Amino acid sequence: MTAVTKYQFELPSEGAQIFWALVDYSRWFVATDAPFLERILANNGRFDVPTLSSVLTKYDVARGFPAATSVKFGKLIDVLHHYANGWPDRMMDRCEHCIGLASSLKRKGLTQKLQVSAATKTMWFLNPEGWTLFDKLAADGMNAPAHLSAEKKAQYFYAHLESCCFEGLQNRLFKLIQQSEWRDIPAARVFDFVLMNRSNSQSASVRKADCTGYLNALPRSASDSLIALARKAQNEFGNDILPPVTRKRRGRRTV
């Protein structure tokens, strides 16, 4: 087995949140999201059975959905496309649209429970522009209240993103990305990885080591251009991006 060539990179510390989120997401994008998006594009912007089944499995939301070989799975795809065709423009409207989708799937017997996270993820693949995903890791990275239901937590999550001017943030990052060789990377998903990495149990040093290994596996020109883009993003946004919600602790009642 041939060892991976070790480039002499000058890389920032683990604390450079958006630098490592961008590198980390580029790795996920190249291996996972880009192939799925290409398959959907080749199918006229629609899921087919193998692609949707793979998306649900890879994003760890397949539990509770019908088997891919069942008639119900085809009905599931029809409902997803129906909701994708009515995709709103505003973030909170999109949030409510996804909650409506999750409710419709449960009501039709196509899921066993309210699959809000899965709804936001499947809609991203059909309408990725300016949208990002809701799940427990991202919500925890925002410090969303743990006791909320999936529906209420999603509303809390997207309301906080909107209050942080998320659309403006991702537009700024989009412009940086478009000036690079990595123009296909969806800007909004980089911020998704910022939030997830804050709550991920994997240590920042392990994540940095994994990302460094990925940079070493790329052609040197690709690594250099990605590092340059990530540095620009870090300089542009710093570490104060999407600050976690500060919640007051309830004091003890006194008699």
Q: Where are the domains of the chain?
A: 17-237
The reported pLDDT for the residue numbered 253 is 43
Please determine, for residue 233, whether its predicted confidence score (pLDDT) is greater than 80.
yes
Between 212 and 252, residue with greater pLDDT: 212
pLDDT class of 67 with cuts at 50, 70, 90: very high
Please determine, for residue 8, whether its predicted confidence score (pLDDT) is greater than 60.
yes
Report how far residue 40's alpha carbon sits from residue 43's, in angstroms, rounded to the nearest whole number: 5
Residue identified by tokens 């999603």 is 154
The reported pLDDT for the residue numbered 248 is 58
> Over the stretch 234-245, which tens digit does the pLDDT of each residue have?
999 999 888 887
The reported pLDDT for the residue numbered 249 is 54
Mean of pLDDT values over 203-212: 91
- What count of other Cβ atoms lies within 10 Å of the Cβ of residue 144? 25
> Over the stretch 91-139, which tens digit does the pLDDT of each residue have?
999 999 999 999 999 999 999 999 999 999 999 999 999 999 999 999 9
Report how far residue 154's alpha carbon sits from residue 113's, in angstroms, rounded to the nearest whole number: 15
The reported pLDDT for the residue numbered 254 is 45
Please determine, for residue 3, whether its predicted confidence score (pLDDT) is greater than 80.
no
Mean of pLDDT values over 157-182: 96
Please determine, for residue 250, whether its predicted confidence score (pLDDT) is greater than 80.
no
What's the pTM? 0.91
Please determine, for residue 141, whether its predicted confidence score (pLDDT) is greater than 80.
yes
The reported pLDDT for the residue numbered 1 is 45
Nearest to 215 by CA among 18, 65, 27: 27
Would you state the structure tokens that stand for residue 114, as one six-digit string?
A: 């309210």
Would you state the structure tokens that stand for residue 253, as one six-digit string?
A: 């009642």
Mean of pLDDT values over 188-199: 93
User: Dmax of the chain from CA atoms?
Assistant: 71
Would you state the structure tokens that stand for residue 200, as one six-digit string?
A: 């991920």
The reported pLDDT for the residue numbered 7 is 73
